[in-house]
């Protein structure tokens, strides 16, 4: 029984900076338990969205949930696209913060841009930036590469 999203596995997305990830989690419609687990993992990661080496028992201690519930929530979050796990032999996973495709919006064209100049895709390629924004109608957030 999935509590967070689709039952089918979703292809992993690139790592997202911690601050953008936490904002997306807060603005999502995830259950509170899943939000707490994701934020706990996020705050133990580096700024770039990688380097969170928390074990399930460490997450359990920090959240107050049982290890079994944490395991179930982590599995659901991975299936929904909120986390990716890079296994390390003999150690805890490296949790990678990702944002599901459903929460990513393309930036809208600003006034005066539609008549001329570069298209949105060409402008993104030229600037070397990726745009992330939650699906709540918030303005897009620019993440430098």
In the structure, what pLDDT confidence band is assigned to residue 119 with cuts at 50, 70 and 90?
low
Domains of the chain: 18-101 (1.10.10.10), 103-107+114-144 (no CATH)
Element (H, E) at 33: helix 32-43
With a cut of 50, say whether residue 114 has pLDDT above it.
no
Q: Strand 94-97 to strand 141-144: parallel, antiparallel, or no bridges (unpaired)?
A: unpaired
Look up the pTM and report it. Answer: 0.63
Do 35 and 22 meet the contact criterion of CB atoms below 8 Å apart?
no
**What percent of the chain lies above the pLDDT cut of 90?**
26
Q: What pLDDT does 143 receive?
A: 53
Q: What whole-number distance in Å separates Cα of residue 125 and Cα of residue 108? A: 16
């Amino acid at each position: 029984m999935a509590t967070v999203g689709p039952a089918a596995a979703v292809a992993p997305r690139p790592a997202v900076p911690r601050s953008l990830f936490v904002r997306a989690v807060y603005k999502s419609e995830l259950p509170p338990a899943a939000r707490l687990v994701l934020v706990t993992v996020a705050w133990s990661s580096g700024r770039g969205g990688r380097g969170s080496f928390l074990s399930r028992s460490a997450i359990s201690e920090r959240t107050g949930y049982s290890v079994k519930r944490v395991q179930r929530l982590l599995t659901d979050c991975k299936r929904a696209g909120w986390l990716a796990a890079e296994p390390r032999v003999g150690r805890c996973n490296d949790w990678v913060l990702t944002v599901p495709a459903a929460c990513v919006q393309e930036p809208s064209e600003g006034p005066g841009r539609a008549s001329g100049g570069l298209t949105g895709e060409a402008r993104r390629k030229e600037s070397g930036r990726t745009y992330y924004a939650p699906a709540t109608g918030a303005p897009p957030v620019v993440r430098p590469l």
